[in-house]
């Protein structure tokens, strides 16, 4: 009996540890492989098709986004814009133009908070979707976290709300927000791009003159190489069709 009484606290401690451990693992960072296989986050897709998705964060900006839209129209290229809601409210005419010209509108929070919690993040996402929907009637289903930072808890909550999380090909972060020089932005893309990649640019949040200059060189050069510019959703559709084909030989 004494042995049983002695062992009881140990058993309770072991059970408690197991319970805490299981609970803690739920929100550990599961990593890229897990999320790619679960289809909850995309960084890029595997394909032999010469397609690439160019994406822009932090806009819209009345001047720079408009200049980018001019270039996209000039070269008949499509892009995906990850929109900050408060900037959408300031520039509704730019949002309306994006939508009218066939570009994809996606969500990048309302105030671009560098740190936040899950309830506030969901609130920010809803505010941005409401802003975009009020202007265009379109409700975005793609979301990109600020600075690409996320936790398992955030992803779980976002996916539950029906969103797909979109990152970018790590080697194609142009770092244009640092204003590294137009040539460096161009070199990052042209030397690194591969089929199915997602490229990260910024059209808001600062002076994006170098980004606009770089786009003038990047788009025609990649088109000369045979690349087609598609939206992120179009990229995902290619991935989906490939998956269905592999499952039904």
Catalytic residue ranges: 57, 202
Asked if residues 182 and 214 have their Cβ atoms less than 8 Å apart, the reply is: yes
Residues pairing with 53 in the sheet: 198
How far the first Cα of the chain sits from its last, in Å, is 65
The beta-strand segments (E) located in 6-92 are 41-42, 51-57, 80-83
Helix axes 92-100, 118-136, angle to 10 degrees: 70
Cα dihedral across residues 206, 154, 103, 220: positive or negative:
positive
Asked if residues 185 and 212 have their Cβ atoms less than 8 Å apart, the reply is: no
Q: Which residue has the tokens 């029906």?
A: 162
**Which residues fall within 8 angstroms of residue 136, CB to CB, at 6 or more apart?**
95, 96, 99, 105
Helix axes 62-74, 92-100, angle to 10 degrees: 10
Q: Which residue has the tokens 């030397």?
A: 191
């Amino acid at each position: 009996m004494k042995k049983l009484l002695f062992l009881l606290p140990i058993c309770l401690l072991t059970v408690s540890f197991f319970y805490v451990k299981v609970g803690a693992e739920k929100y550990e960072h599961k990593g890229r492989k897990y999320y790619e296989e679960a289809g909850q986050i995309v960084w890029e897709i595997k394909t032999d098709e010469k397609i690439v998705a160019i994406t822009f964060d932090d806009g819209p900006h009345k001047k720079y986004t408009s200049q980018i839209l001019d270039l996209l129209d000039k070269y008949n290229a499509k892009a995906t814009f990850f929109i900050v809601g408060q900037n959408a409210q300031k520039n509704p005419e730019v949002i309306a133009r994006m939508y009218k010209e066939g570009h994809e509108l996606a969500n990048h929070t309302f105030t671009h908070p560098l740190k936040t919690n899950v309830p506030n993040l969901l609130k920010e996402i809803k505010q941005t979707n409401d802003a975009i929907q009020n202007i265009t009637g379109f409700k975005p289903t793609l979301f990109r976290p600020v600075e690409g930072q996320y936790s398992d808890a955030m992803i779980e909550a976002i996916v539950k709300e029906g969103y797909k999380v979109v990152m970018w090909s790590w080697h194609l972060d142009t770092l244009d927000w640092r204003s590294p020089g137009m040539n460096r932005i161009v070199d990052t893309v042209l030397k690194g791009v591969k089929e199915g990649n997602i490229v990260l640019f910024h059209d808001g949040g600062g002076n994006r003159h170098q980004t606009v200059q770089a786009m003038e060189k990047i788009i025609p050069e990649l088109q000369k190489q045979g690349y087609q510019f598609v939206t992120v959703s179009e990229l995902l559709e290619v991935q989906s069709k490939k998956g269905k084909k592999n499952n039904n030989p």
